């Protein structure tokens, strides 16, 4: 992995680093924001201790599995824009879970798409993944749109303990990530729930 200005991976606008406990302020600005937390955690609003727990969890994941939802920064100026990365999902089948959490102040600038594309390339290229799993809160239209743009295909609904909801769930198989958008079969079960 080449390192550019402390980033282990870059895109045209973004750089990826690894979480450290010293990043608590950044973590608070992301997971401590109820506009973000409401989509990923049934508690809706995380306390300082819960944000710190989440940060420690990401750091542990990197130690144990070499992956996490990596913190992402703008190359131009270094603003923290959120995190995007991988979790173990089905290690025997080499399937990882893809996730993205973007700070509310950076929404709708294409950062989640750009970061996710880089993570997908990393997963299939460097980690030799066979597939990527992803799911989202049933009312999360932004995530649904984003996953369709990324070529994920709806597979089923699955209970997600962290939110207490049935999450529409998707798979991106190795080889499918390079197809152009246009024939994306979008999950049509979620419009009724949104």
Ligand X SMILES: CC(C)(COP(=O)(O)OP(=O)(O)OC[C@H]1O[C@@H](n2cnc3c(N)ncnc32)[C@H](O)[C@@H]1OP(=O)(O)O)[C@@H](O)C(=O)NCCC(=O)NCCS
Report how far residue 72's alpha carbon sits from residue 14's, in angstroms, rounded to the nearest whole number. 6
Q: Tell how far CA 85 is from the center of its chain.
A: 5
Least Å from the CB of residue 188 to ligand X: 16
Q: Can residue 39 be called a binding residue for ligand X (CB under 6 A)?
A: yes
Contact status: 40 vs ligand X (CB under 6 A):
yes
Q: Which is nearer to ligand X, 86 or 112 (CB)?
A: 112
Using DSSP, state whether 52 is helix, strand or coil: helix
CB of 23 to ligand X, least distance (A): 17
Task: State which residue, 88 or 110, has the beta carbon closest to ligand X.
Answer: 110
Residue 145 in the binding site for ligand X (CB under 6 A): yes
Cβ 66 to ligand X shortest distance, Å = 22
Q: Which of 24, 59, 127, 142 binds ligand X (CB under 6 A)?
A: 142
Residue 173 engages ligand X in binding (rule: CB under 6 A): no
Nearer to ligand X, 64 or 141 (CB): 141
111 contacts ligand X (rule: CB under 6 A):
yes
C-alpha span between 176 and 160 (Å, rounded): 25
Query: Quick one: tokens of 84?
Result: 């995007």
Minimum CB–partner distance for residue 71 and ligand X (Å): 13
**Residue 101 is a binding residue for ligand X (CB under 6 A):** yes
- Tell me how far CA of residue 38 lies from CA of 7, 41, 148, 162, in angstroms: 29, 6, 21, 11
Least CB distance to ligand X at residue 33 (A): 9
- CA pseudo-torsion sign 136, 52, 106, 11: negative
Using CA atoms, how far apart are residues 21 and 99, in angstroms rounded to an integer? Answer: 20
Of 118-126, 145-153, 170-178, 185-193: span binding ligand X (CB under 6 A):
145-153
Q: Buried b vs exposed e over 172-185: b needs ≥16 C-beta within 10 Å?
A: bebeebeeeeeeee
Other CB atoms within a 10 A radius of the CB of residue 73 amount to 21
Using CB under 6 A, list all residues that contact ligand X: 36, 39-40, 100-102, 107-113, 136, 140-143, 145-146, 149
């Amino acid at each position: 992995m080449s390192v550019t200005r402390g980033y282990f991976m870059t895109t045209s606008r973004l750089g990826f680093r690894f979480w450290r406990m010293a990043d608590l302020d950044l973590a608070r600005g992301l997971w401590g924001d109820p506009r973000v937390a409401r989509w990923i955690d049934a508690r809706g609003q995380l306390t300082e201790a819960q944000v710190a727990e989440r940060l420690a969890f990401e750091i542990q994941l990197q130690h144990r599995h070499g992956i996490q939802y990596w913190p992402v920064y703008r190359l131009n100026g270094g603003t923290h824009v959120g995190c995007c990365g991988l979790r173990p999902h089905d290690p025997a089948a080499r399937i990882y879970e893809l996730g993205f959490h973007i700070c509310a102040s950076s929404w709708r600038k294409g950062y989640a798409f750009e970061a996710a594309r880089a993570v997908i390339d990393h997963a299939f290229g460097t980690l030799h993944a066979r597939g990527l799993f992803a799911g989202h809160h049933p009312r999360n239209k932004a995530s649904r749109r984003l996953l369709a743009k990324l070529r994920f295909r709806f597979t089923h609904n699955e209970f997600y303990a962290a939110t207490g909801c049935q999450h529409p769930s998707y798979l991106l198989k190795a080889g499918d990530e390079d197809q152009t958008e246009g024939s994306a079969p979008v999950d049509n079960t979620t419009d009724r729930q949104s």
